[in-house]
Chains A and B, each alone.
Chain A
């Protein structure tokens, strides 16, 4: 075994070429047999990195089988990039090993935090948008990108509360992160819709202000409806059903402006049979293909 002298040397620099405007799905182990039976297909699969951080066993066998024929997107959920404390070095090392082992086409993480002091809360928790938190998030992204030797895509959150201490908008904050760190962005259109409904802003205004030229992946997912203390609609980012019509409309608008980018159907609980998930991806692919033929080149980088 080669001895590792620092965080970067163990990771080969090569990684797959961009995959273009294809639709993919979350990979769920219960779909493995159906996916393998169908053979190589257009599209890609996304996995939560943490589910593949065990030493061995069936999870790695399944991921190897999927990766053999399809591009992979590695989606980190627990790096706690948005938290004030230093990143967990052991977790970063595990993340780096997965990137080196599976050479994913896309690597992403969240603008959120999940660990505080020694407790892991298993949720994507929100942060205030200030110059101090911006510096901290940028330092964390620099550290991740240095470790894996490639840019990550940072995902915009869905939120249920706001912070009195915030001094800038979410879009300004995200633009600042992309500009300072060189990271790409994962635009979760459902998260935009959920946050817009919860905070009472216009999703279209948010998208108009979002730095679309940095977007290298899109997420689409289902959400659930609740009510807050004042009886106002409160949307929950539940990932447990089909993509809502309004979110499809926003997606078409984004593709019309940005041009086609890899787009994921995220479905993480109440998981349907494989053909249902596949049909959602096919619906996204239709919009992506239409976008490929109709987008004016001048518009593509206008954002």
Chain B
């Protein structure tokens, strides 16, 4: 069999896997040469259901909020537009939050995409490279007049999600199995996601905290990061924010920005 023909079986088989309107490929059969029909549907079903389950495993709070039927319909729609391109399923669904934002049936849940962004960040933190977090003693050893020039190396598991909605509160309430009280979704909330050791934690950052943390994590020195945070939130408390980030395990080490 020539090479093109060898390729052809997979091309023909793959073509209908996500398109239920297509018939089974002509070269596959059921028993005794009969049409494949429902037998090919087993593969279609395996593909779609397993990928819906993969998304449900990554986005359990989104599923709890929407209910399983709504979630499965939304996930199926996403899968048809965006199949995984890697065999690592924990990498799948990075564009699912953006899809949720554009999904017309989810318009009444404007915070849902940000809850999904926190869940995506949670899984990235879970699988991130292990690293020892910065200890408070290392910071305490820095001379006060040099603090402004200090730069912080972000921990591989650290991430920030900013939301115009109460995404952190909604996320936290729905990652649990306890009954959810009524939540006012309209308060802007920013999340800090970290995994210093074993457990991923999601913290609600105070006003100015996300700008501060993001500035530090992008390599800007402490003095500049503090100035940006104070611009955004005049009552920004530098000492408690820096202590909170270190306690959360957001960094691995410090250095002087002007040293090199």
Residues of A at under 8 Å CB distance from B? Answer: 50, 53-61, 77-78, 80, 83-85, 88, 91, 113-123, 125-128, 130-133, 136, 160-165, 198-200, 226-230, 232, 234, 236
Contact = CB atoms under 8 A, between A and B. Distances in A.
Interface in B1-33: 1-3, 5-7, 9-11, 13-14, 17, 24, 27-33
B54 to A, nearest CB: 7
B252 to A, nearest CB: 13
Nearest to B130: A56
Contact of B126 (A57, A123, A160): A57
Contacts of B14: 116-117, 119, 121, 125
Interface string B154-175: 0011000000000000000000
B107 interface: no
Identify the interface centre among A119, A127, A161, A227: most chain B CB within 10 Å of its CB: A161
B89 A122 contact: yes
Contacts of A54: 88, 90, 126-128
A283 B218 CA distance: 57
A114 B83 CA distance: 12
A162 B25 CA distance: 11
B85 A132 contact: no
A63 to B, nearest CB: 13
Contact of B89 (A50, A60, A226, A234): A50
B23 to A, nearest CB: 12
A228 B31 contact: yes
A160 B17 contact: no
A59 B1 CA distance: 44
A113 B87 contact: no
Given A114-B87, A122-B54, A132-B5, A228 B29 contact: no
Interface of B: 1-3, 5-7, 9-11, 13-14, 17, 24, 27-40, 42-43, 46-47, 50-51, 54, 83-90, 125-131, 156-157, 195, 198
Contacts of A77: 87
Contacts of B40: 160-161
A9 to B, nearest CB: 23
B84 A120 contact: yes
18 contacts: A50-B88, A56-B129, A56-B130, A56-B156, A84-B10, A116-B10, A116-B14, A117-B14, A119-B83, A120-B83, A122-B84, A122-B89, A125-B14, A130-B1, A133-B1, A133-B6, A161-B29, A198-B31
Given A121-B47, A122-B54, 11 more contacts: A54-B126, A56-B128, A56-B131, A119-B85, A122-B47, A123-B46, A160-B36, A161-B24, A163-B29, A226-B42, A234-B38
A131 B1 contact: yes
Identify the interface centre among B2, B5, B6, B47: most chain A CB within 10 Å of its CB: B6
B41 to A, nearest CB: 9
Nearest 7 CB-CB pairings of A with B? A54-B127, A78-B87, A56-B130, A132-B1, A229-B37, A55-B129, A116-B14
A57 B129 CA distance: 7
B245 to A, nearest CB: 20
Contacts of B9: 84, 127-128, 133, 163, 165
A85 B13 CA distance: 14
A84 B6 contact: yes
A123 B87 CA distance: 10
B87 A165 contact: no
A162 B32 CA distance: 9
A160 B86 contact: no
Contacts of A123: 43, 46-47, 50
B27 A164 contact: yes
Contact of B32 (A164, A165, A200): A200
Nearest to B36: A161
B131 to A, nearest CB: 8
B1 A234 contact: no
Contacts of B30: 161-162, 228-230
Contacts of A84: 3, 6-7, 9-10
Contacts of B130: 55-57, 60
B105 to A, nearest CB: 25
A147 B128 CA distance: 25
A126 B39 CA distance: 12
Contact of A232 (B3, B31, B128): B31
B37 A228 contact: yes
A229 B129 CA distance: 49
A266 B166 CA distance: 42
